[in-house]
Amino acid sequence: MARVEIYDTTLRDGAQGEGISFSVEDKLKIAQRLDQMGFDYIEGGWPGSNPKDNEFFQRAQDIKWQNAKLSAFGSTRRVGIKANEDQNLQTILATKVKVAAIVGKAWDFHVTNALQTTLEENLDMVADSIAFLSAQGLEVIFDAEHFFDGYKHNPAYALEVLRVAAQAGAHVVVLCDTNGGSLPWEVEKATKAAVGAVKVPVGIHVHNDAGLAVANSLVAVQAGSTHVQGTINGYGERCGNADLCSIIPNLQLKAGKSCLTEESLGQLTRLSNFVSEMANQAPNDKQPFVGRSVFSHKGGLHVSALMRHPETYEHVAPESVGNRRRVLVSELSGVATIAYKAQEYDISLEQGTAGLRGVLEVIKDLEYQGYQFEGAEASFEIMLRKSLGLYSPFFQLEGLRVIIEKRHQEEEPITEATVKVRVNDQSLHTVAEGNGPVNALDNALRKALEEVYPRLNQIWLTDYKVRVLNERRGTGAKVRVLIESTDGTQSWGTVGVSTNLIEASWRALVDSIEYGLMHTQRAYDAGVQIAP
């Protein structure tokens, strides 16, 4: 299997994306994770451009890299000076990295207008910079900036830049679609020309301004490129860079190219989520291969076929990239969906049983009322068990009351909740205050139950969303409340619907607590330790 080198530039190009700012600690953690995964190159940043990158490279010297080569980014020497006099190149040497990525102009328009120099001087800048770094023992990767635009306007000069770079000692010449506007057939043509023009490996580095970064990367490999640059999750300036989370599995699972070990490929979804967390970005549920929704199935016919042959509606196995199959419950569900979910919950339920069709009718009716179980699978499991007579509630409500008192115009209102519940033969009656009615209810219910169910202190609410379902009804509209909860090891969603916001919130809150208690009870019975 032919191998393709993977060069990650998340820590530099990815960090240029809007809303993304990595700390030094973030960058070190990401770099070590990429190294563990087996990436070939990790571009750490542009030393000398900011104190953060300087500290990163300094601290990186104390890390023993197992698989990846750490690369420092820079540009060719400035106009009119020698390479050994250029501060940018000297700063790269000071990092003590073994690989340098040097960007140089490949578009004649940029040479004469951006650099304001001659075409000959630009060639000298490329040659001098690469030769200087090579002589210091560095492996040099040359990024031919705006190569594809340059090739369209002056192909002879764009190719000459590559030849000069290769002759000066570049290990790889990388073709850059810097503006991200090239089409796949343009990339294919220019890449083939580049492969024929030089005797060193050819790489590809593209941006996603036309939505074609992944496609252009794959086409370049098909045309002879053996080195691919990109970022995790496609982070980067403007529309982003080519997404390695799509490129790698496409190359490895479909194009017969080797990039990572099979074990590392199986960690790709976790890597994607990890980098999202470090970048403080919400994961993209629809992101190919690694998104939460990409192996989710909702239609009843799809699920029925999946239960027999998963490949009927999945182009690769979810496990191959560390993802998982999800079957969603909705009014579009069929009996196969309910049977699949029952199996997932270890509930024995044959497809032909009356109970199965009864559950399906309940779901369709609830969805018509405004319930949505796609993001509230915990509520669905409770509803399923109740419908089949397999559920014993942990408590029963005997009454609740919420009082909101506002004493002065300028002050925040005071909210107090009173809850009375019964557990077995014991009646528990408590009062608690909160920041609002839902918080007060949550506090009061916990106060009532924690003595009986001490495991409840291991469960907490992490998100609360309200959606108005029929806006035209104004303040009398029906609302749907979605609650996300966790016990430190897993998260679950619950839902409540009512024309009364307090009632909708209460239903979602009760499901959240009951599911949490049910889950921790199962874990306790199985001897599994729940995180405190």
249: domain CATH number? 3.20.20.70
pLDDT in the model for residue 435? 86
pLDDT per residue as tens digits for the range 117-136: 999 999 999 999 999 999 99
d(CA 146, CA 260): 29
Q: How confident is the model at residue 529 (pLDDT cuts 50, 70, 90)?
A: very low
Domain membership flag for residue 291? no
Is residue 363 domain-shared with residue 400, that is, in the same domain? Answer: no
Which residue among 246, 278, 310 closes a domain? 278
Same domain as 261, residue 127: yes
pLDDT at site 306: 55
Same domain, yes or no, for 132 and 183?
yes
Would residue 374 count as lying in a domain? no
Between 305 and 505, the more confident residue is: 505
pLDDT at 334: 55
Co-location of 149 and 229 in the same domain: yes
CATH number at residue 479: 3.30.160.270
Q: Please report which confidence band the pLDDT of residue 523 belongs to, taking 50, 70 and 90 as the band edges.
A: very low
| Closest to 399 measured CA to CA, from 427, 366, 368 | 427
Q: Of 321-325, 328-332, 337-341, which range is least confident?
A: 328-332
- Is pLDDT of 335 > 60? no
Integer distance in angstroms from the first to the last C-alpha of the chain? 47
Are 41 and 119 in a shared domain?
yes
Lowest mean pLDDT among 9-18, 60-69, 301-310, 454-463: 301-310
- Answer yes or no: is pLDDT of 524 > 70: no
Over 154-221, what HEC string results? CHHHHHHHHHHHHHHCCCEEEEEECCCCCCHHHHHHHHHHHHHHCCCCEEEEEECCCCCHHHHHHHHH
Contact between 17 and 235 under an 8 Å Cβ cutoff? The reply is yes
Say whether both 93 and 197 belong to one domain. yes
Question: What's the rounded Cα separation, in Å, for the pair 228 and 236?
Answer: 15
Q: Are residues 180 and 117 in the same domain?
A: yes
High-pLDDT (> 70) share of the chain, %: 85
Average pLDDT over residues 502-515: 90
pLDDT beyond 90 at 226: yes
**Percent of the chain scored above 90 by pLDDT?**
55
For 86-107, write each residue's pLDDT tens digit.
999 999 999 999 999 999 999 9
The tally of domains found in the chain comes to 3
User: Of 480, 497, 489, which Cα lies nearest the Cα of 516?
Assistant: 489
Q: What are phi and psi of 59, to 5 degrees?
A: -75, -30
Residue 50 included in any domain: yes
Tokens for 209, please give them.
Answer: 């301004």
Same domain, 199 and 119: yes
Same domain, 303 and 255: no
Q: For residue 347, what pLDDT band results from cuts at 50, 70 and 90?
A: confident
In the predicted structure, residue 514 carries a pLDDT above the cut 50:
yes
On whether both 245 and 321 belong to a single domain, the answer is no
- The reply to whether 169 and 234 lie within a common domain is yes
Identify the domain containing residue 447 by its residue range. Answer: 396-526
> What would the pLDDT profile of 358-408 be if each residue is shown by its tens digit?
666 776 677 667 776 766 788 888 887 887 777 888 888 999 999 998 878
Query: Please, what is the average pLDDT of the chain?
Result: 87
Task: Please give the Cα distance from 428 to 257 (Å, whole number).
Answer: 64
Mean pLDDT score, 416-442: 89
Read off the tokens for 467. Answer: 């959606």
Above 90 in pLDDT, residue 187? Answer: yes
The pTM (predicted TM-score) of the whole model is 0.72
The residue-averaged pLDDT of 139-144 equals 98
| 141 contacts 100 by C-beta, under 8 angstroms | yes
